[in-house]
A and B are shown apart, each in its own frame.
Chain A
Amino acid sequence: MEKTWNNKAWFLVLPVLVLVAFTAVIPLMTVVNYSVQDTFGNNVFTWAGTEWFEDLLSSSRFWEAMVRNLIFSFIILAIEVPLGIFIALNMPKKGWGVPVCLVLMSLPLLIPWNVVGTIWQVFGRSDIGLMGYYLNAIGIDYNYVQDPFDAWVTIIIMDVWHWTSLVVLLCYAGLVSIPDAFYQAAKIDGASRWAVFRYIQLPKMQRVLLIAVLLRFMDSFMIYTEPFVVTGGGPGNSTTFLSIDLVKTALGQFDLGPAAAMSLVYFLIILLLSWVFYTVMTNYDAER
């Protein structure tokens, strides 16, 4: 058949292109625009070149927030992924327990982020909070408002409580797709419980785990609402993550130029790290 060569197909994708332009490309370009200018009141802009980027990359405040953020992401991945796998492995595969467990697991995911923050903010208070009060009552000195370590513990527990379910549900989906014959064959082959996990369950979960790790990494690296509600970035700057720092700069001080530069750097970091994660995990996959 003779092929027709023309550009009419562009008209078909035009609506999507326009939509993407308005929602993503134009805002992004606005940010790029801000990042190279200095702003004053009355919409007066002056060219600033790469000044904001240079400032940012040499600012210790930025690097500290970044390191904090990386540590935070690493800790919650190290907890949520194994814990999620463990819970998924122990969830019932059939019977009335399945819907019960699924609903229980979904509940934290259904709660709006600021509400999660408020819940834990109250829960941890040493005067009226259920957890805070009783921890102090049994002699543990716990105060997330003044002690940086307690603040970290609170935020990490909160994130684990909020997001482990996501890992659980993804892993569970991977697990229930394994046909019974695999478990039967493993019994015939005399495989131990560990071998069943290592050679049957883990390989089948690998793809969903990749998604879980990526999602949890990106989300935790961009975390804002919950720690902001609970600690407001404090005590001191001890829980000031990149996003909190960014909002403080942009909205607190109305420094649009530095904030825009920071947004771009932040965006590139997440893009880069996600790409690294994805490449490493898919390469590992292909190698095997």
Chain B
Amino acid sequence: MARIDVNHVRHSYLPNPRTDADFALREVHHIFEDGGAYALLGPSGCGKTTLLNIISGLLHPSHGQLLFNGKDVTTLSTQERNIAQVFQFPVIYDTMTVYDNLAFPLRNRGVPEPDVDRKVRETLDMIDLASWAKKKARGLTADQKQKISLGRGLVRSDVNAILFDEPLTVIDPHMKWVLRSQLKQLHRRFGYTMVYVTHDQTEALTFADQVVVMYDGGIVQIGTPAELFERPRHTFVGYFIGSPGMNVVPVAIEGRTATLGSERIELPGVPKAGSGAVELGIRPEYVRLGRDGMAVSITKVEDVGRHKVVRAKLEGRDIAAVIGEDETVPAEPKVRFDPAGINIYADSWRVEMGA
């Protein structure tokens, strides 16, 4: 297990990067604490896999430094770093049995055979493939193959960290739940440092203690699932996390009041000055639909099962509100913004509010 320091790491796939746009990873400076469960969350192409491969040593960063427990490992190879990584698509050794597949990483490192046997059997039970141990790996389904890939990641107990690169993409939804909770259990039992890359927010929020949201080659926010939900630091985090995403509308601020067209909205505090376009962000969960407040026209009501999503226009802006499954939309609908859920953004970044 190790604490991983990522020191001002930048990476470009081009030989001579000049501008920021040439960098797949613009700059990441972060500490992954020993024994933490982290999720790297972001859209495709945001640099999350690049960061993961830099940690595992499959890529060497163009700039910056990487420390494991304070020791510089920037120039070390993947083998020397002693890292486990599970990839998006199953990688299995076709010609070996399931058992030998799992034993492979251990045997390569010269682990004595009795220990190999014990570890492999434990792992087989964990991924529920014990009855397949003697079978050739090539005949398995995609699900089972990916379980073997996972198993190979988990079979070594002395690794510095276990990295997952969207490992459950090919697994069917039910199995996803099972495997994810098993990973979670493992984490609690053995305290591995785990980094889990995904573009699925549910996966990130259920797996991790700390979610690292990445956007356009950089980290935009690191926080607990609750923090990301309540106080998105950047409007991107607001859009990306939550379903539907945060409502963001342009406003003018004067003291404790925000003006949206002809409507005036009371703020919970006075926003500290920020530069650039000012916007107000509020999650649909904090938009109250009722008989008083600002007049809206409803465009659509989506019943998603546990609750309803109301799409409406407020001063010409699209906003969404979440209401209970049994609530009904009033004849002359109006909305209020719950002050607890209001965030103010200047140039897309959140500004603090004073008393």
Could you list which residues of chain A lie within 8 angstroms of chain B, going by C-beta atoms?
Answer: 179, 181-182, 184-185, 187-192, 195, 199-200, 203, 288
Contacts and interface: CB of A to CB of B under 8 A. Distances in A.
B105 interface: yes
Interface in B80-135: 83-85, 87-89, 91, 93-96, 104-105, 108-109
A195 B58 contact: no
B158 to A, nearest CB: 12
A185 B87 contact: yes
Contacts of A181: 87-89, 91
Contacts of A200: 93
B112 to A, nearest CB: 16
B225 to A, nearest CB: 29
Contacts of B149: 185
Which interface residue of B84, B89, B93 has the most chain A CB atoms within 10 A?
B93
A189 B108 contact: yes
B257 interface: no
Interface in B34-85: 53, 56-58, 77-79, 83-85
A181 B83 CA distance: 15
Contact of B152 (A182, A189, A192, A203): A189
B136 A288 contact: yes
Given A179-B89, A181-B91, A199-B95, A187 B58 contact: yes
B108 A188 contact: no
A36 B149 CA distance: 64
Contacts of A182: 91
Interface of B: 53, 56-58, 77-79, 83-85, 87-89, 91, 93-96, 104-105, 108-109, 136, 138, 149, 152-153
Nearest to B87: A181
B78 A188 contact: yes
Contacts of B153: 188
B87 A191 contact: no
A163 to B, nearest CB: 28
Contact of B96 (A187, A188, A199): A199
A184 B78 CA distance: 9
Nearest to B104: A189
Contacts of B95: 199, 203, 288
Given A191-B108, A199-B95, A203-B94, A184 B58 contact: yes
Contacts of A184: 53, 58, 85, 87, 91
A131 to B, nearest CB: 42
Chain A binding site: helix, strand, loop or mixed by DSSP? Answer: helix
A200 B89 CA distance: 15
A235 B194 CA distance: 73
B201 to A, nearest CB: 25
B93 to A, nearest CB: 5
Given A185-B87, A188-B84, A288-B138, A199 B79 contact: no
Contact of B109 (A185, A190, A199, A203): A190
11 contacts: A181-B87, A184-B85, A187-B79, A188-B58, A188-B153, A189-B152, A190-B109, A191-B104, A199-B104, A288-B94, A288-B138
A266 B117 CA distance: 54
Contacts of A203: 93-95
A236 to B, nearest CB: 47
B150 to A, nearest CB: 12
Given A184-B58, A199-B96, A288-B95, A190 B87 contact: no
Nearest to B137: A288
A195 B84 contact: no
A190 B85 contact: no
A192 B136 CA distance: 22
B109 A188 contact: no
Contacts of B87: 181, 184-185
Nearest to B78: A187
A185 B91 CA distance: 7
Nearest to B152: A189
B337 to A, nearest CB: 47
Nearest to B105: A189
A12 to B, nearest CB: 38
Contacts of A187: 57-58, 77-79
A148 B136 CA distance: 49
A283 to B, nearest CB: 14
A199 B152 CA distance: 15
A179 B95 CA distance: 17
B108 A192 contact: yes
A248 B218 CA distance: 78
A187 B87 CA distance: 12
Contacts of B109: 190
Contact of A195 (B56, B57, B91, B108): B108
B89 A188 contact: no
Contacts of A190: 79, 105, 108-109
Q: What 8 A-B pairs are tightest by C-beta distance, nearest first?
A: A185-B91, A190-B108, A189-B105, A187-B78, A199-B93, A181-B87, A188-B85, A203-B95
